[in-house]
Structure formats: structure tokens, C-alpha cells
Structure 1
Amino acid sequence: MTVVPPMPCRASKAVIQEAAEKYAGKINFLPGDDLFKLVRRLGGQIRFRDFSPGHQRESIHVRSAKDFDLFLPDDTSPLRDRFTIGHELGHLLLHYPVVRRAAGDTPVEMVATRYLPEDASDDVRRCEWEANWFAAAFLMPAGPFIQAWHQTGGDPADIASRFFMSVEAVRTRARSLSLESAAA
């Protein structure tokens, strides 16, 4: 079977984030829900791996839409892992369908790597942006996030604990939603 990188869907950030939120609603995924259970329900397995030099670097290896392995570093925090899982699900849901359509009848496996080489193509870089946009909206949907922002007076630490995310991920999401003082 041929191994190929992800291919961008080329949707706008707004369209990708809207799709991520709709998908979360469709599968009844709420902020803070167990992502390990979700990955198993979708047909995947999560594996922990040493990502030091000399070890394999893939973060998701997709054989089919319902058969994939998601790789996490064995030395990161659970909060970081949550974002990584959301990001890799973005590759599965946004990029694997594009790869399948492009492959036609040819059997392919899509592999998205954790670390991009310096000479990564614009398409591969675009895929990373798209997966990040997906993860942010999937894990921190705009409505509940904005509500939490107002309830906490924009306290990133409090919001992070509500969404089981890192403070940096919360700050980034707040900036993307144009919330006041989000960069503070």
C-alpha cells in the first residue's frame, strides 16, 4: 500500500471551525469529554511513543476512515495530549477524505508526521494550520468558550480548567475569537 502525506481541504478557517463544532455536535462530544474513548469509538487506537531522534515520527497513520493509529509522545502532559488528539482528528476528518478522493481506486495510507521538515511543502504546512483550526474549535467551541470567558471575566486559567486545555491554548482560542484582552 502506498503511504502518502495529508492533502489540504483548502477551506477557510471559519468554515473549518464551523465544521469542527458541527461534527462535535453530531457525535455528541462535549468539551472535556474523554478523547481516548472517542478515538476508540471512531475505530482508532492511541499509542504512546518516544519521539526522540531516530524514532518514527508519525502522529497519525490512517489505513481507513475507521482504522487508524494516533501516536502521542510519551513525555507530554495530558493537556497537551488533548490538543494533539484534536489536531490528529482534524487530519483524519479534513485531510483523509481528500487523500482518498485523489487516490481513486489505489489503496493508500495517509501519514501525518509530528515534526515538519524545514523544507515542508506549502500544502503540508497548510494541513497543519487546518488541523490546528479544527482542534481549537472541536475542543473549545465558540459558544461555550465565549460564555466561559464572560463568566470568568476572561480568566485563562479558569477557562483552561473548564475545558481541560492548556492556558496557552485558551489564550490562542480567545485571540482567534477576538475577545478583548485575550493577548494579556
Structure 2
Amino acid sequence: MSSLAAEPTRLSNAAIREYAERIGEHYNIYDRAGTADVRALVRELGGSIAIGDTRESLRVIREGQFVIYLPRVTSSRRDRFTIAHELGHYFLHYLHAKRADGAIFGRGERNDVETQANVFAASLLMPAEPFRKTYARLRGDTHAIARILEVSPAAVEVRAQVLGLR
């Protein structure tokens, strides 16, 4: 099991956003309101989620077998972003990197690898076109959008900025 620092993918942020959205569409994780079922995606990929006295992280045993660790003390919206973030590591820094060994990815540092996982998470949870439509329909009401997509208002604000809506 390798816990060496992951290398950032060479994909651009635009390519990461497109990759995340394609994954969400491929696995059909969105309901009518556009809310992503990231827990179902974890199960479909062969992963599991463990909650306990731990920090947010991902442990990959091999392709199709991994565990996302969540602390007990976080909100459901935070957990959803963390799950999507850890899936970003799985897809970008494990599968796309073609790693064959096990790996551990911890959260909390500020570096390119973590930024890439955040870009992936935001795009998986809030795909561009459905987000734009919801944003327009709700006239940019950050809190209403956050409730529908089950993310934090801060995540909505960042996504709106990235998409040039603010």
C-alpha cells in the first residue's frame, strides 16, 4: 500500500470538469432536481464509506475496492462534497494515473492534487448546464440552490464564479 504523495494529473481543469460530468452522466447519478447520488456511485464502483473517529481520506486496495473515510462530526453536505472529492482522487490520481498498487489519499493539504480533486467534486455535484439552469431559475439564490443540490452555499458561490455567473 503506497502512501506516497500523488502526482497531479496532466489534465486541465476544463478536462477534469468534463471528465467528472461524463462520469456522473455515465453512471446516471442525477435525480430530476439535479442532485447527485454520490453514495450510490461509490457502491456501484465497488467502494464503501466508513464513518468514525478519523479524518477525511480514501484508501484504495485495488481497482473496484476502496474505502472513503468520513469523520463523525461533519454535516451531510460536507460529507457529500468529501465523497465527491475522494472520488476525484480515485478517478484522477488512481484510475487515470493507471496505478496498480494500493494507495492512500488524505485530505487537508493545499496543493495541485487537492485542487484537482476539488474541481472534480464541484463538477460531479454541480454539472455546468444543469447548474446554470437552476441558477437562472432561482435567480442566483445561493441558499435555495444549495438546498436542492445538497451542497454548501459556499460551494454554490464558488461554482457560480467558476462558471462566470457572478
Answering whether residue 126 of structure 2 is matched by residue 140 of structure 1, we say yes
Indicate the SS of the match to 1:4.
coil
> In structure 2, what is the Cα distance between the partners aligned to 1:71 and 1:142?
28
Aligned with 2:105 (options 94, 103, 112): 112
> In structure 1, what is the Cα distance between the partners aligned to 2:67 and 2:18?
26
CA deviation after TM superposition for structure 1 residue 99, in Å? 4.6
Indicate the SS of the match to 1:68.
strand
CA deviation after TM superposition for structure 1 residue 157, in Å? 0.7
The normalised TM-score by structure 2 is 0.90
> After the TM superposition, which residues 14-93 of structure 1 pair with which residues of structure 2 at under 5 Å, given as runs?
14-30=14-30, 31-51=34-54, 57=55, 59-93=57-91
- Describe the shift of the 1:175–1:65 C-alpha distance in structure 2 as closer, same or farther (beyond 3 A): same
CA deviation after TM superposition for structure 1 residue 41, in Å? 1.3
Answering whether residue 131 of structure 2 is matched by residue 154 of structure 1, we say no
Answering whether residue 155 of structure 2 is matched by residue 169 of structure 1, we say yes
CA contact (8 A) 1:43 1:68 kept: yes
> In structure 2, what is the Cα distance between the partners aligned to 1:2 and 1:166?
32
Root mean square deviation of aligned Cα:
1.7
Which deviations, in whole Å up to 9, do the C-alpha atoms of 1:59-87 show, x marking residues without a partner? 00011120001001110000000000000
Partner of 1:12: 12
Indicate the SS of the match to 1:69.
strand
> In structure 2, what is the Cα distance between the partners aligned to 1:64 and 1:58?
19
Gaps of 5+ in 1: 52-56, 102-106
CA contact (8 A) 2:50 2:69 kept: yes
Indicate the SS of the match to 1:10.
coil
Partner of 2:117: 131
Which deviations, in whole Å up to 9, do the C-alpha atoms of 1:99-142 show, x marking residues without a partner? 535xxxxx6211111233xxx8xxxx111010000000110000
AA aligned opposite 2:103? M
The normalised TM-score by structure 1 is 0.82
Partner of 1:104: none
- Matched residues, number: 163
CA contact (8 A) 2:3 2:105 kept: no
> In structure 1, what is the Cα distance between the partners aligned to 2:91 and 2:142?
28
Indicate the SS of the match to 1:100.
coil
CA contact (8 A) 2:17 2:123 kept: yes
> In structure 2, what is the Cα distance between the partners aligned to 1:93 and 1:73?
22
> In structure 2, what is the Cα distance between the partners aligned to 1:2 and 1:126?
19
> In structure 1, what is the Cα distance between the partners aligned to 2:61 and 2:26?
23
